[in-house]
Amino acid sequence: MKAAGASGVVGLTGLAGCIGGGGGGGPITFGSIHLLSGFASVYGESAKLGYQMAKEEINDDGGIDGREIGDIIYRDSEASPDTAVQHARNLVESEGVDLMIGLDSSGVALQVSPIMEQLQKPFMITHAATPFVTNMGDGDRAKGNKYVFRDGVNLAQNLYGAAKTAQKTNATSWTTIGPNYAFGTQTWEYFKAYTQAMDLGYEYMENATAYPSLGASDYTAHINKVIDAEPDGVVTSLWGGDLITFLKQAKNTDFFNVVDELLMTVGAATDVLRPMGADMPTNLWAGTRYWFLSPDSDANNTFRKNFLEANPGRPPSYNAQNAYTGLYLYKQAIESAGSTEPDAVIDALEGLEMSAPVGDLRINPDSHQAELPAVWGKTAHSDEWDVAVLDPVERIPAPAGTLRDLLSGSGWPAGV
Amino acid sequence: MVELPVVEILTGLSLGSRLFLVALGLSLIFGVLGVLNFAHGALYMVGAYVTISVVQSVVGNFWVAAVLAGVGVGLVGVAMEVGFIRRIYERDQLDQLILTFAFVLIISDLTRIVWGSQSYTLDPPASLNNTVQIAGASFLTYRLFVIVAGIVAMAAFWYVLQRTFVGSLIRATSSDRQMSQLLGTNVSRLYTGVFALGSVIAGIGGALAAPLQAVTPGVGDQVIISAFVVVVIGGLGSFTGAFIGAMAIGLIQSFGTMWVRGADLFLPFVAMIIVLIFRPEGLFGEEGQ
């Protein structure tokens, strides 16, 4: 994976090489917190595959500044903020890891983020999408701090893509069905905030919003509620097994007869598409934080090829890519800083640019959020892949300035 | 909107029926053995996974798969009872909870080793994989079948318990274990049999649920909590109670969701609290115990 490091930080590679050659030191260790059990453990599993691949590549290629990547110590968040906070403390204070990475749930990220300020260790969030943790302003919705970074598309970027996608449709009355926690409600709030700011003149059917509990086994009652309101369009933030259950159950009701447009904000997740196989409904709008067939770049094509070789039949998911890219970002930052010392790594991460599989990204120094486009497309059958694909697929640019402008006045931070 | 209640009622009954198929075995095992089996949800999960594996194997038949799921999980139940649970009948209920909770963790991890973390999906059997129009709304035929399956299970249990010799042995042992033993009942074997039967039902419950949802490592987690609520509302150990409780919860979830956010999660608990306050033994509490 030469391409990943290729764009580099403006000519610092040579300097870093000098320091690395002289210094060395022991292996660099990482603490990684993910969902490793329960209904969504496939997300943690995918992340592990990404870390493993990056670690092997980096170590085969001489390590980071001459130092090997040592242990990546995994801990199971169990989707519980308290558990994750305990793990974070333990990994830093007892295990003495150099750097932290991971997190799958927004609820967990909101609690872990402030703790990192106490622990004074950088944390690269790879999956949890709440914009609050990359918002360093004031107030309840500002949970970011100098230690917390994110290399994946956040909810505000993703929902900007949803709003631009909605704009292409003829749907004018909208509602939502999403998990009954921050991620589900924030998805709806950001969708409304963007589409209002864009003056799309939508009717928002608040009485039809449906929030089933996370990991529920039956959504039929919630599907009935949406059908009853007859909205033109529905935006859904259901994810993982929940999205599969919802689609299976919605297919056998009048949902798709009544609703013209379904926007699945994280529907193009390969961990969802694989089990759905040929059952995945086509012609639905789906977003994702990373799409394995886009962009058509050296970095992405090489990553996809290598990942599929290591994991046959398993196209890389966004969690795998984000984990993989996270380690490479740390590598680049450490090499440019010449150390794993937190402040030096943080300085190096701010403004860092990288040609990652997900695309050319830059870590915004003000928010610590990776600037990335929102990827949206329409689900379609594919002869080449065992999973449904996005065709067409669009990379919707989501510049920080645009997002902040559109959301200003809504009270919802862009976190970019 | 005359048609609306019909949709809600059928949805509620199908939710209730799914719940009943979990609560039934839980209630049976508690009613007779006095053991609150936390691992019941894990057994249900194994039933779902076995079904998917069998359908995807050369067998390829859902009904065969459901039977095998029941038998397979029943055997797991026998191993659990004979190997472990029978040793703690005389112990504190807390010990029983800890032991069965240990089984939750063990079975969950073993399941993950065998089937991995990913989600699986399964189509309903072809003959039931179509929709019918009722009151102007589409229903999956398989979903209606599950309602019928719940009612049939209830009827079969009522018949066995009230009208057969084995049933009277079970009832006798459940009300007075020592007396039953003195009168010559092989209580030990009866307990193994009842635990196995409860497990078989859990396995079949999982099998019947598999075509309706994503099968993930967490399938048993949520269902066991709902099943506990159902059993508490109905009265621990009462099958009629479990049936009425399950259907009531299904209907509460179905109608409640239309008006209250989070109704699917909290209304069942509200119902449970009300029952516990005004009728702590549950709606049909004395009957089974």
Whether residues A337 and A386 share a domain: the answer is: no
Cβ distance of A248 and B213 shorter than 8 Å: yes
Residue B238: its pLDDT value, please? Answer: 87
Given a cut of 70, whether residue B136 has pLDDT beyond it is yes
Given a cut of 70, whether residue A22 has pLDDT beyond it is no
Whether residues A279 and A364 share a domain: the answer is: no
Helix (H, G, I), strand (E, B) or coil at A12: coil
Given a cut of 70, whether residue A13 has pLDDT beyond it is no
Whether residues A167 and A280 share a domain: the answer is: yes
Q: Has residue A193 been placed in a domain?
A: yes
Token pair 């003149």: residue: A201
Q: What are A200-212's pLDDT values in tens digits? A: 999 999 999 999 9
- How is chain B split into domains, by residue range? 21-217
B137 touches chain A (CB under 8 A): yes
Residues in contact with B214: Cβ distance below 8 Å, sequence separation at least 6, in sequence order = A240, A241, A242, A244, A245, A248, A275, B119, B120, B121
| B89 confidence band (pLDDT: 50, 70, 90) | confident
Q: Which amino acid is at B114?
A: V
- Between A and B, how many CB-CB pairs are < 8 A? 134
Cβ distance of B12 and A242 shorter than 8 Å: no
Mean pLDDT of B84-99: 90
Helix (H, G, I), strand (E, B) or coil at A376: strand
Cβ distance of B121 and A279 shorter than 8 Å: yes
Give the mutation candidate from B113, B257, B260, B269 for the A interface (greatest A CB count, under 10 A).
Answer: B257
Q: Which of A269, A301, A303 is nearest to A379 (CA)?
A: A269
Given a cut of 80, whether residue A10 has pLDDT beyond it is no
Q: Which of A98, A69, A95 is nearest to A342 (CA)?
A: A98
Our CA-based measurement puts residue B7 at a distance from the nearest CA of chain A, in whole angstroms, of: 8
Residue A313, domain CATH:
3.40.50.2300
Cβ distance of B119 and A221 shorter than 8 Å: no
Q: Which of A292, A404, A415 is nearest to A356 (CA)?
A: A292
B117 touches chain A (CB under 8 A): yes
Residue A54: its pLDDT value, please? Answer: 98
Given a cut of 90, whether residue A25 has pLDDT beyond it is no
Whether residues A168 and A35 share a domain: the answer is: no
| A227 confidence band (pLDDT: 50, 70, 90) | very high
More confident residue, A17 or B73: B73
Q: Which of A169, A232, A226, A166 is nearest to A196 (CA)?
A: A166
Q: Range with the lowest mean pLDDT among A57-71, A397-411, B252-266?
A: B252-266
Whether residues A357 and A382 share a domain: the answer is: no
Complex ipTM more than 0.85, yes or no: yes
Residue B79: its pLDDT value, please? Answer: 97
Residue B176: its pLDDT value, please? Answer: 85
| A16 confidence band (pLDDT: 50, 70, 90) | very low
- Chain A CB contacts of B257 under 8 Å are 210, 212, 221-222, 224-225
Is the Cβ–Cβ distance between A257 and B263 less than 8 Å? no
pTM: 0.91
Q: Has residue A241 been placed in a domain?
A: yes
- Chain B CB contacts of A275 under 8 Å are 118-121, 214
Q: Which amino acid is at B241?
A: G
Give the mutation candidate from B264, B266, B267, B269 for the A interface (greatest A CB count, under 10 A).
Answer: B264
B214 touches chain A (CB under 8 A): yes
Across the strands, what pairs with A176?
A235
| A14 confidence band (pLDDT: 50, 70, 90) | very low
Pick from A209, A217, A220: CB nearest B209: A217
Decide: residue B126, CB within 10 A, 0-12 exposed, 13-18 middle, 19+ buried: exposed
Q: Has residue A413 been placed in a domain?
A: no
- Chain A CB contacts of B217 under 8 Å are 37-39, 41
What's the Cα-to-Cα distance from B258 to each of A137, B4, B82, B239, rounded to whole Å? 38, 11, 46, 29
Cβ distance of A248 and B121 shorter than 8 Å: yes
B244 touches chain A (CB under 8 A): no
String of DSSP letters for A117-179: HHHT--EEESS---GGGG--SSSTT----TTEEE-S--HHHHHHHHHHHHHTS---EEEEE--
User: How large a percentage of chain A has pLDDT more than 70?
Assistant: 94
| A12 confidence band (pLDDT: 50, 70, 90) | very low
B140 touches chain A (CB under 8 A): yes
Residue B286: its pLDDT value, please? Answer: 67
B261 touches chain A (CB under 8 A): yes
Spatial separation of the C-alpha atoms in residues A333 and A404, rounded to whole Å: 27
B56 touches chain A (CB under 8 A): no
Name the DSSP class of A234.
E
- Residues 64-103 in B contacting A (C-alpha not used; CB under 8 Å): none
Pick from A39, A221, A225: CB nearest B218: A39
| Closest Cα in chain A to B15 | A218
Whether residues A62 and A106 share a domain: the answer is: yes
- Chain A CB contacts of B212 under 8 Å are 217-218, 245, 248-249
| A225 confidence band (pLDDT: 50, 70, 90) | very high
Q: What are A293-350's pLDDT values in tens digits? A: 999 999 999 999 999 999 999 999 999 999 999 999 999 999 999 999 999 999 999 9
Residues in chain B, total = 289
Pick from A40, A254, A277: CB nearest B137: A254
Pick from A42, A209, A221: CB nearest B11: A221
| A17 confidence band (pLDDT: 50, 70, 90) | very low
Cβ distance of A221 and B15 shorter than 8 Å: yes
Our CA-based measurement puts residue B85 at a distance from the nearest CA of chain A, in whole angstroms, of: 25
Q: Which amino acid is at B90?
A: E
How many CB atoms lie under 10 A from the CB of residue A110? 17
Whether residues A398 and A255 share a domain: the answer is: yes
Token pair 């936390």: residue: B38
Pick from A213, A225, A275: CB nearest B119: A275
Cβ distance of A224 and B258 shorter than 8 Å: yes
Spatial separation of the C-alpha atoms in residues B71 and B174, rounded to whole Å: 24
Mean pLDDT of A233-259: 96
Is the Cβ–Cβ distance between A124 and A54 less than 8 Å? no
Give the total number of structural domains in chain A.
Answer: 2
Q: Has residue A21 been placed in a domain?
A: no
| B289 confidence band (pLDDT: 50, 70, 90) | very low
Whether residues A145 and A172 share a domain: the answer is: no
Whether residues A172 and A301 share a domain: the answer is: no
Mean pLDDT of chain B: 92
Cβ distance of B221 and A274 shorter than 8 Å: no
Pick from A38, A245, A252: CB nearest B131: A252
Residue B221: its pLDDT value, please? Answer: 85
Cβ distance of A39 and B219 shorter than 8 Å: yes
Question: What are the two backbone dihedrals, phi and then psi, of residue A220, each rounded to the nearest 5 degrees?
Answer: -55, -40
Cβ distance of B261 and A241 shorter than 8 Å: no
Given a cut of 60, whether residue A21 has pLDDT beyond it is no
Given a cut of 70, whether residue A286 has pLDDT beyond it is yes
Is the Cβ–Cβ distance between B202 and B219 less than 8 Å? no
User: How large a percentage of chain A has pLDDT more than 90?
Assistant: 89
Cβ distance of A271 and B8 shorter than 8 Å: no
| Closest Cα in chain A to B12 | A221
Q: Has residue A262 been placed in a domain?
A: yes
Pick from A42, A217, A224: CB nearest B118: A42
Q: Where are the alpha helices (DSSP H) in A277-371?
A: 298-310, 318-337, 342-349
Is the Cβ–Cβ distance between A83 and A77 less than 8 Å? yes
A135: containing domain = 28-153+294-371
What's the Cα-to-Cα distance from A280 to each of A201, A260, A381, B55, rounded to whole Å? 31, 17, 8, 19
B36 touches chain A (CB under 8 A): no
Whether residues A195 and A109 share a domain: the answer is: no
Whether residues A46 and A116 share a domain: the answer is: yes
**Binding-site residues on chain A for chain B (CB distance < 8 A):** 37-42, 44-45, 180, 209-213, 215-218, 220-222, 224-225, 227-228, 240-242, 244-245, 248-249, 252-254, 257, 271-272, 274-277, 279
